[in-house]
């Protein structure tokens, strides 16, 4: 029963937070972002240089090994390094696992096709039907979950390499062997390089992304009560909202990748540590998203007058409360990233102050509609405070 009540409350907040113009506003904000050839810190962030050096080293090792054993067929080891090498250790191992598992499935399909079906084929029609059947299996995997979609691509490649070796039926299996050996070699080399040289762990990146989302929410808390040009305020608020969306998505992706980390103390410790960290992140993310959703509802519940037309006492009280909310979210972000461990400020006192001011000023306002809007915003403030407090007592960080 409590879960149903919470779902109903979340659905109501979504309706308040987004409104009918949300999709158009979101698309317009995305289109308004200028395109860039390089990211902002392309020439100042050392992580990009580390990544380039690690990738180059892995490719050179595979190239030297291929020529040392004089085995041209395993050149897929070089391609594997280029494809599998991603931003973190967990992402690299996850991509490598999907690549080798898809190649194994595709190779098994091709092996069975060569062994059982191709000897009886006499026309291009039968070969086309065989290729279509293998493509159907690979496509079924590709259009499935994004977590395994890349394995479907590898199933198709491995299957095609096996059954389409020329313009006539073939019975050679060495292409399957060479491709699998090349992929295994490439996976091994790139994993070792990314593990020992400037390792970047997805388990740390997921908390960094969550902290970034919380800092965007902290800035969002104070944007709406500013007296600047409302067009500029709305544009800045939309940018912070999009940033929080991306950071939440990045945190979830890093949590999935962290399950493949090797840096958690061996296979046994890996499963326990990764599962515990992922569960903590899921709980913290759910709490943070509930706060974020309430913030969006607060932003939509803005009075239909300019801030300068509201009573000074009301504006000051709202700004003080928004500043405390921003400080609280920034403190939670520091705790998630383990940069500082400071206590959350008291939210109840500024909330009580805003409540008293609204009650005092409501009697002097001539517009009942404006009073209703301000009281609706106060109700959202009352809902926001316990959600931030619950987020503040959550276990955060690695």
pLDDT digit string, tens, across residues 144-184: 888 889 999 999 988 988 888 777 666 777 888 888 899 99
Contact criterion met (CB below 8 Å) for 321 and 351: yes
Last residue of a domain, one of 196, 222, 255: 196
Tokens coding 28: 């317009």
Q: Is residue 20 part of a domain?
A: yes
By C-alpha distance, which of 278, 253, 267 is closest to 94? 253
Residue predicted with more confidence, 242 or 273: 242
Q: What is the spatial distance between Cα 181 and Cα 94, in angstroms, rounded to a whole number? A: 18
pLDDT at 64: 95
Is 93 within a domain?
A: yes
398: in domain: no
The answer to whether residues 16 and 67 belong to one domain is no
On whether both 87 and 217 belong to a single domain, the answer is no
Q: Is the pTM of this model over 0.85?
A: no
Are the C-beta atoms of residues 161 and 177 closer than 8 Å to each other? no
Q: What tokens appear for 98 in the block?
A: 């999907």
The H or E element that residue 315 is part of is: helix 312-336
198 alpha carbon, distance to own chain's centre: 22
User: 365 falls in which pLDDT band (50, 70, 90)?
Assistant: low
**In degrees rounded to 5, what are phi and psi of residue 70?**
55, 55
pLDDT at residue 339 in the model = 67
CB-based contacts of 153, cutoff 8 Å, min separation 6: 102, 138, 142
Over range 344-353, report the average pLDDT. 85
Domain span at 301: 2-35+202-392
Residue 55 contacts residue 85 (beta carbons within 8 Å): yes
pLDDT at residue 298, as a whole number = 80
- Residue 216, CA distances (Å) to 114, 152, 235, 340, 370 in order: 56, 37, 14, 18, 29
- Asked if residue 149 and residue 112 are part of one domain, the reply reads yes
Cα 56 from chain centroid? 27
């Amino acid at each position: 029963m409590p879960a149903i009540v919470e779902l109903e409350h979340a659905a109501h907040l979504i309706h308040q937070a987004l409104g009918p113009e949300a999709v158009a506003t979101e698309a317009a904000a995305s289109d308004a972002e200028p395109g860039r050839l390089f990211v902002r810190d392309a020439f100042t962030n050392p992580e990009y240089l580390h990544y380039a050096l690690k990738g180059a080293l892995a490719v050179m090792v595979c190239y030297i090994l291929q020529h040392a054993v004089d085995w041209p067929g395993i050149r897929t080891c070089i391609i594997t390094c280029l494809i599998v090498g991603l931003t973190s250790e967990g992402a690299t191992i996850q991509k490598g696992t999907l690549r080798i598992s898809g190649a194994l499935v595709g190779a098994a399909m091709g092996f069975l096709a060569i062994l059982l079906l191709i000897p009886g084929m006499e026309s291009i029609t039968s070969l086309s039907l065989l290729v279509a059947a293998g493509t159907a299996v690979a496509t079924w995997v590709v259009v499935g979950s994004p977590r395994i979609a890349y394995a479907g691509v590898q199933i198709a490649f491995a299957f095609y390499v096996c059954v389409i070796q020329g313009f006539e039926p073939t019975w050679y299996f060495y292409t399957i062997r060479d491709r699998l050996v090349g992929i295994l070699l490439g996976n091994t080399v790139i994993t070792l390089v990314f593990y020992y040289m400037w390792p970047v762990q997805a388990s740390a990146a997921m908390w960094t992304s969550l902290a970034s989302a919380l800092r965007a929410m902290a800035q969002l808390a104070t944007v709406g009560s500013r007296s600047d040009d409302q067009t500029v305020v709305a544009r800045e608020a939309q940018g912070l909202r999009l940033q929080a969306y991306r950071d939440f998505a990045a945190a979830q992706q890093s949590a999935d990748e962290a399950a493949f980390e090797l840096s958690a103390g061996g296979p046994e410790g890996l499963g326990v540590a990764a599962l515990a960290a992922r569960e903590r992140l899921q709980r913290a993310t759910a709490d943070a998203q509930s706060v974020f959703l309430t913030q969006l509802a607060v932003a939509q519940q803005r009075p239909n007058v300019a801030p300068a037309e509201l009573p000074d006492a009301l504006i000051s009280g709202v700004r003080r409360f928004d500043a405390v909310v921003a400080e609280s979210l920034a403190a939670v972000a520091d705790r998630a990233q383990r940069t500082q461990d400071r206590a959350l400020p008291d939210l109840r006192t500024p909330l009580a102050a805003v409540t008293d001011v609204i009650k005092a000023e409501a009697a002097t306002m001539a517009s009942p509609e404006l009073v209703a809007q301000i009281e609706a915003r106060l109700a959202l403030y009352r809902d926001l405070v316990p959600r931030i407090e619950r987020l503040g007592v959550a276990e955060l960080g690695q």
